[in-house]
Chains A and B, each alone.
Chain A
Amino acid sequence: MTPAFLYALVGIVLFSIGLYGLILYKHLLRKILAINILGSGVFLVMVALADRIGDAVPDAVPHAMVITGIVVAVSATALALALMLRVNEETGQAVLPEDREA
């Protein structure tokens, strides 16, 4: 198996782990971490499959897309963290109301 497919599989597993974490864990910081891992999984699939080219220069378009994706992810994370802090301020806990303990 070439590195390309190996890392693509890793990406798929990361995608699922992120999805699992996003749905299951209650604390907003964990959800934000889960989304980041989910995103990393998608990026890994995108770039890994571009490496199926043997010794030649890999396809640059997926690389560019993933760089764009990384910047989008950090922007979204920053906004999410700011919101999380406000949720904490307004409700006393960094969880969504439906996830609150009693």
Chain B
Amino acid sequence: MEEINVLLLFDVVLGLTLVWLAWQTLSSLDLFRAIVLFIAFGLLMALAWVRLDAPDVALAEATIGAGLTGALLLSALAQLSASQKNETKPSLFIRLTLGVLLFFLVIALAYTVLSLPTKAVGLSVEVAKNIELSGVSNPVTAVLLNYRSYDTLLELGVLLLALLGVWSLGGVSTNKSSFPKSSFVNPVLDLVTRLLVPIFILFSGYLLWVGAFAPGGAFQAGAVLAAAGVLVFLSDWYLPSKYSGFALRLVLVIGLVWFVSMGFSFVLLDNAFLEYPPEFAGGLILLIEAAATLSIGISLAALFLGREPATKSDSNIDIDTGVNK
């Protein structure tokens, strides 16, 4: 009994902290502070997921939601001019009215949620019933890569589209001076990168492998790979230009293309698209996840970098050495 009360207390404190952090994030005058609070918010969300028995989601939140999103936000902030970061408060009347309206919304939603039955199984029974046919034993992976793999396939598309959009907005990297080939590299960062990147890559592979039977999977593995990518970019390393054209684009799409091909592989034998015969399902899922991990990792890292890397034909400056041709 006492143990349950302690956990409940923990949950209440965590819940209140989350709300407080969210409020502080938005009302912070200083944007840097806001982003840092947001990252903290993300990490505490990961804790909340753990408390809700959702370790896969916790991993995704910590790596993608807090980590990569935080990196993106900080990188963007750095490129904003310093002058206009403060906010003038809208009139009290507007704030009050909106606050009251939203208060009623909260009450209505709370009523809705609390009127739901206290016990419900949702689709967990269905998921468990078919798990042996799915080829994996982690139910979340089964849903993502088998039962509802169509959504995951489309989701890989979302990532690619976002990258396309970001590239179209950022211009090509050698035009801006923000990525110079500097002669000085922070030695601590350099050392940390050299140590961590191989570990991250290894860990990414582990998450990919373990996702079949324990929390983990392609998205989490891809995010860790992207983290390695972010570290590497921060140390002023860039992809040699001969790889930053077709080869890069190929790696970016390989996850999606592989997914579609695997999904089609049994169609000729009168199966549905994305139908995997149970004896091959486990292997197929692992292969798909491997390709997806690569694409997801490179995509997320590329999103952080922001600009489409220039290829040899694009500029007059030799990208690898910075010398004007």
Task: Show the binding face of A for B, using Cβ within 8 Å.
Answer: 1-10, 12-21, 23-27, 29-30, 32-34, 36-37, 40, 43-45, 47-54, 56-68, 70-79, 81-86, 88, 93-95, 101
- State whether A47 and B54 are in contact (beta carbons under 8 Å apart), knowing that A60-B139, A71-B159 are contacts in the complex: yes
| B26 contacts A33, C-beta separation under 8 Å | yes
When chains A and B are docked, how far (Å) is the Cα of A67 from the Cα of B124?
Answer: 17
**A93→B84 CA distance, assembly (Å):** 7
Q: Is B165 an interface residue (CB 8 A)?
A: yes
Query: What residue of chain A has the Cβ atom nearest to residue B16's Cβ?
Result: A10
Instruction: Report the separation of the CA atoms of residues A30 and B80 in the bound assembly, to the nearest whole angstrom.
Output: 13
Confirm or deny: B65 has a beta carbon within 8 angstroms of a beta carbon on chain A. Answer: yes
Docked-complex contact A15 and B109, CB < 8 angstroms: yes
* Listed stretches B6-14, B234-242, B309-317; interface member: B6-14
**Bound: A77/B35 CA distance, A:** 13
**Given A5-B113, A13-B19, A86-B169 in contact, is the A78-B162 Cβ separation under 8 Å?**
yes
Interface size class on chain B is 35 or more
Question: What are 16 A-B pairs at a CB distance below 8 A?
Answer: A6-B8, A10-B15, A10-B19, A17-B19, A29-B34, A29-B76, A40-B65, A44-B48, A50-B52, A52-B119, A54-B119, A60-B139, A64-B151, A74-B68, A79-B169, A85-B80
In the complex, the answer to whether A59 meets B61 with C-beta atoms within 8 Å is no
A94 contact from B19, B84, B158, B303, Cβ within 8 A:
B84
In chain B, positions 36-64 with a C-beta closer than 8 Å to chain A are 38, 41-42, 45, 48-49, 51-54, 56-57, 60-61, 64
Complex-state Cα separation, A58 to B84, whole angstroms:
46
Determine whether the beta carbon of B31 is less than 8 Å from that of A52: no
B:128-182 near A, CB below 8 Å: 128, 139-140, 142-144, 147-148, 151-152, 155, 158-159, 161-163, 165-166, 169-170
> In the complex, what distance in Å separates the CA atom of A33 from the CA atom of B34?
9
> Do B144 and A81 have beta carbons less than 8 Å apart?
no
Q: Which residue of B lies closest to A88 (CB)?
A: B80
A85 and B143 in contact (CB under 8 A), knowing A9-B110, A74-B69, A77-B72? no
Closest to B79 in A: A85
- B34 with A75: CB separation less than 8 A: no
Task: Please report whether the interface of chain A is mostly helix, strand, loop or mixed according to DSSP.
Answer: helix
CA A92 – CA B265 in complex, angstroms? 52
Give complex CA distance A50, B12 in Å.
Answer: 18
The reply to whether B77 and A29 form a contact with Cβ atoms under 8 Å apart is yes
Q: Which of A24, A30, A51, A85 contacts B90 (CB 8 A)?
A: A24
Docked complex Cα distance between A65 and B123 (Å): 13
Q: A8-B113, A21-B26, A86-B169 are in contact. Are A66 and B124 (CB under 8 A)?
A: no
Do B124 and A79 have beta carbons less than 8 Å apart?
Answer: no
9 cross-chain pairs, A with B, having the tightest CB-CB distances, nearest first: A75-B162, A59-B122, A60-B139, A21-B26, A64-B143, A59-B124, A10-B15, A81-B76, A78-B303
A47 contact set on B, CB distance < 8 A:
49, 52, 54, 57
Q: B80, A50: Cβ atoms under 8 Å?
A: no
Contact in complex: B102, A19 (CB < 8 Å) = yes
List the B residue with the shortest CB-CB distance to A62.
B122
Min distance, Cβ A82 to any Cβ of chain B, angstroms: 4
Segment from B91-99, B253-261, B266-274, B283-291 that makes contact with A: B91-99
Among A1, A18, A50, A84: residue with most chain B CB under 10 A: A50
Chain A residues near B56: list those with CB within 8 A: 63, 67
For the complex, what is the distance from the CA of A8 to the CA of B61, rounded to whole Å? 17
Q: If the complex has contacts A49-B113, A81-B72, are A14 and B143 also in contact, measured as CB distance less than 8 A?
A: no
CB distance B76 to A16 under 8 Å? Answer: no
Q: How far is the CB of B252 from chain A (nearest CB, A)?
A: 13
Q: Complex Cα distance A6/B170, Å?
A: 42
Residue of A at shortest CB range from B48? A7
Instruction: Tell whether A63 pairs with B7 under 8 Å between CB atoms, given A52-B119, A58-B124.
Output: no
Known contacts A26-B87, A61-B127, A72-B158: A7-B15 contact under CB 8 Å: yes
Q: Are A74 and B106 in contact (CB under 8 A)?
A: no
